[in-house]
Amino acid sequence: MKKNKLNQIAHILYVLFVVITVATIMNSGCVKEGPSPKAEPLNAQVRVQVAYDASDVAFRFVWKSQTKTMPANAGNTGKKYPGQYHDMLKHNGTRFDRIPSDGRLQEDRVTFMIDKLDQRVPGFSTATCAATCHSGMSSHNLLTENVVDHWHWRGGRSGPMGYAEDAAVDHTGRIRDNLGTSPSRFLRSSGDRFREDQGPLTGTGHAVLTDGLPRFVFNKGKAMPGDFTIPSFFITDHNNTIITNPYTEIPNNKSLSNNRSLLVVHQDKTFDPVDKVNAIDVGYLAYVALSSVAHLPAHLQDTGSETFVHWRNFWASELGIAANASAAALAKLNAIHQEWVASNKNAMVTRSVAFIYNSDQHDITSERAYNASRDEWTVILYRKLATGSDRDADLSGLPAGTRYAFSFAMHDVGGAAISHHISMPYVISNGVDSDIVAKQLPNINDIDWDVVPYFDTYYVKQAYVDDWKWTEGWLRSSLHPGGSVYLTSTCVSCHQDKLYSGLLN
């Protein structure tokens, strides 16, 4: 009996030991090697995972959608939904124009900076964003003569295309390509990134010109990858009904599956094999129907130029309407205008005009998903470990244990309210002593994220962002308990999990 009782006591102590051990691990705020991320819900605000193979790296972000706060008393106030639209156009009685600034739609975004932990950028390993962007929220630049890699995924402009922007930051600001391929030249006078440059047409000869319709609308009826057919010339909801009020209709549109027509123009036929040109250039139709170029941008009004010829030939092939097919062009113009009139002239179109070309800046691909039941985004970014560009962080040291400083920002938005939450600076490596443990896998294109360590964390509150400065202010002052060791220690050595307390949500 005594032996049985001793065994029972030993068993109870063992169970208590296991419970305490598990509780300790669960509250550590650091990397968790064990349970599946799917099995264990995200109880913080954002989860980060990193995996790599012999040539490529993947960053996975899972974050909770925040409650949309602006504009006040609008249909989207207090809602949670994926910010997959950006700055849409609405007719103001004269022409299509941007929604007034106090009510514009913004997209959800995730962006991060990364560099080796060897202080190539002074202060970056301990301050990251504070040493770069946050010399004040009005500027995005380093405070030193260096360059740091800057990845930027946008929920409305690049996310639906399956890309992200690979920029960099120097002492002046964000660095982007100033290149321009033929597609970008005939969309606008120059091209350097995922642009939002959708302007209205003006002129005479047809209602699309006198009514000021936008130059680009969706190519209704076109079959897109994934057995999706574009249902309208204008933006539609998940039921393929034309959107006329973004504040009431977009919060109900949580499925990403129908939104492959979000971007009005995306031309990358020479960059990857997927046809993402999902628009009609109404300016081309008006040129063919009216034999006029007066409504076109200045760089397309010289009909003898190489740019004009390329533009004309592209759209003739894309739309199946030749430059001499005036009747077909007129019929399409009439259909576009009639659909707008049928919506009581309230149909909306995106302002985004996007393009991609094979360049230093466009080498990040992406995947996205939104879990409507949990209101959580999942975004995965892929890139080569080493790109050969001096603007990009060389991540080829991951297999050898090289340590990298890393900090991210989440822009989870509603109306004109941009929630710009930033993270503490963290360390990434393949060592278990890192904040974020990168795991090597055989093939980056076939990742089982259940076996990849994950790091759950919290944001710095929006109210503190202006204090998140390297040169001055609260961080290095006596008001900050860690001010005296700020240059010699890392934020996470003091701030772990719930110990973030007043600084974090």
- DSSP, residue by residue, 187-224: HSS---SS-----B---SSSHHHHTT-BSEEE-TT-EE
Q: What is the pLDDT of residue 501?
A: 33
Least confident window among 72-81, 266-275, 434-443, 494-503: 494-503
Q: What is the pLDDT of residue 221?
A: 94
Residues contacting residue 163 through CB under 8 Å, at least 6 positions apart: 194, 356, 362, 364, 365, 366
Nearest to 112 by CA among 161, 67, 165: 165
- Residue 418 above 70 pLDDT? no
Q: Which residues pair with 383 in a beta bridge?
A: 57
> How sure is the predictor about 12, in pLDDT bands with cuts at 50, 70 and 90?
very low
Return d(Cα 498, Cα 459) in angstroms, integer: 12
Tokens of 256: 């990403």
Q: What is the pLDDT of residue 487?
A: 64
Q: What is the pLDDT of residue 38?
A: 52
Q: What is the pLDDT of residue 21?
A: 28
| Other Cβ atoms within 10 Å of 400 Cβ, number | 8
Render 388-435 in DSSP notation, one character per residue.
S-TTS---TTGGGT--EEEEEEEEEEETTEEEEEEPPPEEEESSTTSS
C-alpha distances out from residue 285 to 85, 217, 449, Å: 26, 12, 48
3-state DSSP call for residue 280? strand
Q: What is the mean pLDDT of residues 448-462?
A: 82
State residue 128 phi and psi, 5-degree precision: 45, -105
| Other Cβ atoms within 10 Å of 154 Cβ, number | 27
pLDDT tens track for 95-113: 999 888 777 778 899 999 8
> How sure is the predictor about 272, in pLDDT bands with cuts at 50, 70 and 90?
confident
Q: What is the pLDDT of residue 238?
A: 83
In the block, tokens 């109880």 appear at 43
C-alpha distances out from residue 296 to 184, 188, 194, 281, 330, Å: 15, 10, 21, 10, 17
Least confident window among 31-40, 64-73, 167-176, 276-285: 31-40
Instruction: Indicate the average pLDDT of the chain.
Output: 80
Mind listing the domains of the chain with CATH numbers?
33-65+108-177+359-503 (2.60.40), 182-342 (no CATH)
pLDDT tens track for 122-151: 677 776 766 666 555 556 666 667 788 889
* 251 in Cβ contact with 377 (< 8 Å): no
Burial profile 367-379: b = 16 or more Cβ within 10 angstroms, e = fewer: ebebeeeebbbbb
Nearest to 186 by CA among 91, 277, 272: 277
Q: What is the pLDDT of residue 44?
A: 78
Q: What is the mean pLDDT of residues 254-267?
A: 78
Tokens of 420: 């710009």
C-alpha distances out from residue 274 to 217, 225, 492, Å: 20, 7, 43
Q: What is the pLDDT of residue 204?
A: 95
pLDDT tens track for 82-94: 988 888 899 999 9
Residues contacting residue 105 through CB under 8 Å, at least 6 positions apart: 83, 85, 86, 87, 88, 99, 246, 250, 415
